[in-house]
Each structure stands twice: as structure tokens, then as C-alpha cells.
Chain A
Amino acid sequence: MRVRRGLSALICAALMLAAGCDNAEYRQQIAAFQQSIGNTRSAVESYYLEMNQFERDVYFLRLELDQKKKLGIKFLKDSRQREVTEDLVVDGPFSSQAIQARLDSISLLGLYGTRLAELAGTKAPVAFANNAAALGDNIVKLSGTFENLSGGGADPTAARYIGPIGRLIGIAGRLYLEHKRDKALTAEITAAAPVVAEIVQLLNDDFDEVIIPQRLTGMKGAIETLKVSYNNRLDDPNSSRQSRRALLTEIDTLVRNYELLVNARPQEVLQSLGRANAALQTYATSSHAPESLGQLVARMQEFSDRAKEVAAAIREIKDIRKELSRNEN
């Protein structure tokens, strides 16, 4: 009898320990999720931030190398107006409001990751309350920005963001009141995961439909501009070997940049974020069985690796650009 009681106590203790380990691992995965969202955020953000600067870079390169091309500057007075121009565009060609709204959506995803980590952390309720302001006015304004953008027709894709952004804000606000950590964690993940998935899909569509075509065609055009210029110099008896070498070095760095962009495929980190988010949702609503924890760990690892890879590629692209501008000076 005593042996049986002792055995039961041992089994109980082992089960509690296993559950404790599972919870610790689960929380660790949430911390990893937050960290990878942070990496994704900085990678994705840089593409949005550079959209207009990239257009200016391509424009200036053509201007430098094509002696027949004259400088033209257009001030985009009304961000809702869409106009075809091959001149230099001030505050465009992509509306700064539309770019900012996307950046705020990415911030919202980052805040979601932070909140999850806070909930999973040991000082959850305190950190939760202290950071309430972070999810306050600025983020609530976001859905209003998207409504304005889509209303005027300047950015029709903005309309698709309104629904999920509004819902995510609602979920975040509602859960301030929750105090039981695991319950709140499961509730937050269950409610927010589909919305996060929707926002991630919209950002992914932006990359597929706008950002990547803009970058790849621009970079290819820049490389061919340099190539045409190089071949013209070959016909010029006054061109020096040094000047040709400088052009070839420039072509080489741009080609490397192009290869990095093609291979980094930043939209894949968003797809990976989508899969990690789905795995988190599956685990949160499951009975926390070891095999589903295994799947969660695998997805989180994949997301973490992809986020690191893309962040590294973007750092390299930035270094190349710095190097290029240093050489020009």
C-alpha cells in the first residue's frame, strides 16, 4: 500500500515536472518567436523604407551615364494623384503615407510578439500593464490611416488591410484585462493568429506584387545602363583603362546586389512567419502533447533561421550600397 502510494506520488511529480518542462519550452518558443519577428520586422521595414530612395538611385544613375538625358524634378503635391513620369519625383513615386501605414502594420506585428513574450514571461501582468501605452493611440490610428488611403483611390491595396488591423487592435485591447497567464496566452494566440496570418499574407502580397518587381526591374535596368555605357566607352579612343575598370567594378557590385535580392527572397521570411504563427496556434489550442511541441519547435527554428538569413542578406546589400556611394565620392 505504502509502495503504491509512493509510486503514485512519483508518477504525479513526474507528470507535473513534464508539464512544467513543456510550459517552459512553450514559453521559450514564444520568446524565440518574438525575437524572429523582430528580425523580420527590420528586414521587411528596410524594403518599404527604401522604395522611393531606390527609384532616385536608379534615376540618378541613368542621368550620370546618359548625356542626352536632362534632369527633371516633379513635386508630388497630392499623394492621391497617380502620374507616369520619368523625372525625379519628390515624395514619390510611392506615397509616403502608404509606406508609413505598412511600417505601422509591421510594428503592430512586433508589438504582438512582444506582448506574447510578456505574457509568457515571469513578470507578465506588470509588464503587460506598463506597456499598455505602446498599443494605444498610435496603433489605433493605423486603421484610420488605411481607410483614408483606400478612400481616395490612391492606394487601392490599402483597403485590404483595414479589416485585419482593426481586429488585431480589438484583440490586443480586450486582453489587457486578462490576468491568468496561460489562459490569456492561449486566448491571445487563438484570437490573434488568424488575424496575424491575414496581415502577413497582405505584406507578402505587397512583396510579390509591388516591391520585388520594382527592385528587380530597377536593378536589371541599372546593370544594363552601365553595360551600354561601358560598350560606348570602348568605341571612344579617349576612354582610359581606369575609367573602364571603375565601371566594371560598379557592374560587379550591382550584379552581386541583384543576386542577393534574388536569393534572399525576403517574402519567404514572411511565409515562414505565417507557418510559425499557424504552429503556435495549433499548439495553443492542442492538449500540449509532446509531438505538437516538437512541431512547434521545428517551425520556430525554421522561422528563426530564415529571419537570420534574410537579415544577413539585407546587411550585405546595405554594405554594398555604402561601398558604392563611398566609391562615387
Chain B
Amino acid sequence: MKTDNKTLVENIDLAFEMAGRSDLSNEVCKEYLDQGFHLRARLIVLLASIFEDGTAQVTAANKLIKAVNKRLKEAADEIQKAAETLAALNELVSTLDDLIKLPFSVL
């Protein structure tokens, strides 16, 4: 049996994508970059590795690979949501600015 290398590759990709974001601090990006490389070093060994069928550690590792994949996707979505919320706030500011330009009477 093999480790779930396809999802592991996706996890590394997602970690590097987080490192590439411009809306995260440099420190956080660097952390994601380092973790991406740590994972990649393991992947290089696992790419051509086959374990005995039924190895419990492989099953457990695959479960964790999948769980982390879900977490990474959620994190990316949340950051996306945060960015979208910021954009919505910005849009609201502009809309209110435009509104204020209209003639109005003070209460």
C-alpha cells in the first residue's frame, strides 16, 4: 500500500499557495513556505515507497493527510472570505461617500 501522495502533493501546493498570498504577513507566509518544504522532503521519500498492505501507520497517515487537506482549503476560504469582507467594507465606504455627495438637509 502507498501513502496518499496525490493529496499530499495537493497539501504542499496549498501550503505554497498560502506562502504566495499578498494578504498575509511575511512571517506567516514564511511559515507556510517552510512547512511546505518540510512536507515536500517527506514526499520525495514517499513518492516511490510501497508499504506492506494493512500497515496501520499508513492508514493513519493517509487520514491525517486528508484532514490537513480539508483544513488548508478551509483556511484559504476563510482568508478569501476575510478579503471579500474587506472589499465589501471598501465598497460600502465608496457607496456612502457617493451618498453623502447628494444634496441633503441636516436634521
- List A residues at the B interface (Cβ < 8 Å): 55, 62, 82-86, 93-94, 98, 155-157, 209-210, 213-214, 216-218, 220-221, 223-225, 227-228, 231-232, 235
Question: Inside 8 A of A217's CB, which chain B residues have their CB?
Answer: 9, 12-13, 16, 36, 40, 43
Taking a contact as CB atoms under 8 Å apart, the answer to whether B29 and A84 are in contact is: no
The answer to whether A228 touches B33, judged by C-beta atoms less than 8 angstroms apart, is yes
Q: Contact at B30–A228, with CB atoms within 8 Å?
A: yes
How many B residues have CB within 8 A of the partner chain? 25
User: 9 tightest A-B contacts by CB?
Assistant: A156-B50, A224-B19, A210-B47, A213-B9, A224-B16, A220-B16, A86-B41, A217-B12, A224-B20
Residues of chain B within 8 A of A83, CB atoms compared: 45
- Checking A55, A209, A220 against B5 with a beta-carbon cut-off of 8 angstroms, the contacting residue is A209
Q: Looking across the interface, which residue of chain A has its beta carbon closest to that of B30?
A: A228
Q: By DSSP majority rule, is chain B's interface helix, strand, loop, or mixed?
A: helix
Given contacts A217-B13, A228-B26, contact A55 B33 (CB under 8 A): no
Set of chain A residues within 8 Å of B36, measured between Cβ atoms: 217, 221, 224
Are A221 and B50 interface neighbours, CB within 8 A?
A: no
* CB neighbours of A235 from chain B (8 A): 26
List residues 69-95 of chain B with CB under 8 A from any CB of chain A. Answer: none
Q: Are the C-beta atoms of B49 and A220 separated by less than 8 Å?
A: no
**A–B pairs, 28, beta carbons within 8 Å:** A62-B37, A82-B45, A82-B49, A83-B45, A84-B44, A86-B38, A93-B44, A155-B48, A156-B49, A157-B48, A157-B50, A213-B5, A213-B9, A213-B47, A214-B44, A217-B9, A217-B36, A217-B40, A220-B12, A221-B16, A224-B16, A224-B19, A224-B29, A225-B33, A227-B20, A228-B29, A228-B33, A231-B26
Q: Closest approach, in angstroms, between the C-beta of A311 and any C-beta of chain B?
A: 25
Tell me the bound Cα distance from A252 to B83 in angstroms.
Answer: 26
Residue picked from B37, B42, B44, most chain A C-beta under 10 Å: B44
Hey, which chain B residues are within 8 Å of A85, CB to CB? 41
Question: B50 near A227 (CB under 8 angstroms)?
Answer: no
Cα–Cα, bound, A235→B19 (Å): 17
Most chain B CB within 10 A, of A55, A217, A227, A228, is at A217
Instruction: Tell me which residues across on chain A come within 8 A of B47, comparing CB atoms.
Output: 209-210, 213-214
A214 to chain B, nearest CB (A): 7
Alpha-carbon separation in the docked complex, A61 to B48 (Å): 25
Check A93/B12 contact, CB under 8 A, given A223-B20, A224-B33, A228-B19. no
Which A residues are in CB contact (< 8 Å) with B33?
221, 224-225, 228
Q: Could you say which residues of chain A place their CB within 8 Å of the CB of B49?
A: 82, 156
Bound Cα distance A93, B47 (Å): 11
